[in-house]
């Protein structure tokens, strides 16, 4: 499989421009028939999880908000590793409780 510029591989940067699932499925099939082993393996994984691929193409939503919160949590956890107990870590992670 060759990209429009003659380079091997899938044009993943333009995957949002694919308007139908059939076009994406055709590209995945082309990649599975590729002679490049990494491209072929990647395409097989996409074929196994085709529902997620279809949703990524068709739906306007993403998981960016969740990924950002997880990244923030992991950075805080790494910064505090070995310095404090679970109570301080919980206080830094969770929003403060406002009671009357």
pTM of the model: 0.43
9 and 39 in contact (C-beta within 8 Å)? yes
58 and 17 in contact (C-beta within 8 Å)? no
Residues 6+ apart with CB under 8 A from 24: 15, 18, 53, 54, 57
15 and 57 in contact (C-beta within 8 Å)? yes
pLDDT tens sequence for the chain (100 residues) = 445 555 544 454 444 544 566 777 788 888 889 889 999 999 999 889 888 878 877 888 888 888 998 998 888 888 877 777 778 877 877 777 766 5
């Amino acid at each position: 499989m060759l990209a429009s510029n003659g380079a091997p591989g899938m044009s993943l940067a333009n995957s949002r421009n694919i308007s139908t699932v059939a076009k994406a499925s055709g590209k995945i099939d082309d990649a599975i028939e590729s002679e490049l082993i990494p491209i072929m393996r990647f395409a097989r994984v996409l074929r196994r999880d085709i529902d997620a691929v279809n949703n990524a193409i068709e739906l306007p939503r993403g998981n960016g908000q969740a990924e950002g919160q997880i990244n923030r949590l992991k950075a805080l956890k790494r910064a505090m590793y070995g310095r404090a107990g679970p109570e301080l870590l919980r206080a830094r992670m969770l929003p403060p409780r406002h009671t009357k």
